[in-house]
Amino acid sequence: MERSPLFCKRDRPGTGLVELTFFLQQMINGVALGSLYGLIAIGYTMVYGIIRLINFAHGDVMMMGCYFAYFGILMFSLPWWASFVIAMALTAVLGVMMDKGAYVPVRNAPRISALITAIGVSFLLENLGLVVFGGRPKGFPTPEMFSEVYEVAGLMFPALVVWTPLLTLLILSAVLFIIYRTKTGRAMRCISHDMETTRLMGVDVNRIISITFAVGSAAAAAGGIMWAMRYPEINPLMGIIPGFKAFVAAVLGGIGNITGAMLGGLLLGVAEIMLVALMPELAGFRDAVAFGLLILILLFRPTGLMGTKLPD
């Protein structure tokens, strides 16, 4: 079945009132796109909230998750659901390996060292992807249940638009459960306030941080797979823009705050879709608007909408 366009334009742009159906359709599209941003932003905000590291390789981790799913389906002929689950698990392992191999050695170094390391890991993954997978984009298989399009009261609901917020809510609930209802989550919150005191209390800080990377990376893989089905092709550089947008979402909502990251993602997604839908002549500036929003937030409310000032 033919995929519905992500951005629907008015028949007569710039004239007349926005019809209610048109507005609701764009809101639906905006919520779906925002859910993707929020899902990817969870990993950003978890890692920053605990070790104050902006993991610029997060978008590339998302890209790797897409390739794991792609090869699971096409090379190993796994059912799509098994391939997606295995891809999330492998991406979680990749996140742990990144932490152990790149970030643990600079854990006690100045923060700028960790930041440079994150940028280096990002370039490493991108160039490794170009060498191993090739630079040519690959079509990502979309299972039939995600290709359907439903129509309700004149509104079009592509299955992905329905499933993306549901999956995001499910993963968000699981992450919040881990953080607020488990001993591991309690340790994460303690580390975010005072890593050294937490270590003195007998907590294996490195293990907890590795779990954080694993959870955040698995969420990024889920977001990446949904992204790849929506824009059905993958390439080794596909994580750059979604990664930056997710970072904007995390900062907008309050980096370090899981719920804030989701709120920031939703606001960013709706703002982008509305900009393109209501002012199509400015569609080429939607990325600039997102990054302009980041600058404004950093200037006037650096803690974001729901964030609080975190201890150094």
Phi/psi at 202 (nearest 5 deg)?
A: 95, 10
The pTM of this model reads 0.87
Q: What is the mean pLDDT of residues 133-151?
A: 88
Cα(18)–Cα(26) distance, rounded to whole angstroms? 11
Q: What is the mean pLDDT of residues 102-121?
A: 90
Give burial (CB, 10 Å; 0-12/13-18/19+) of 252: buried
- For the stretch 233-251, pLDDT in tens is 899 999 999 999 999 999 8
- For the stretch 28-63, pLDDT in tens is 889 989 999 998 998 888 888 888 888 889 999 999
pLDDT of amino acid 301: 85
Cα(93)–Cα(243) distance, rounded to whole angstroms? 19
In this model, does residue 4 exceed pLDDT 70?
no
Q: CA dihedral in degrees (158, 160, 165, 169; nearest 10)?
A: 140
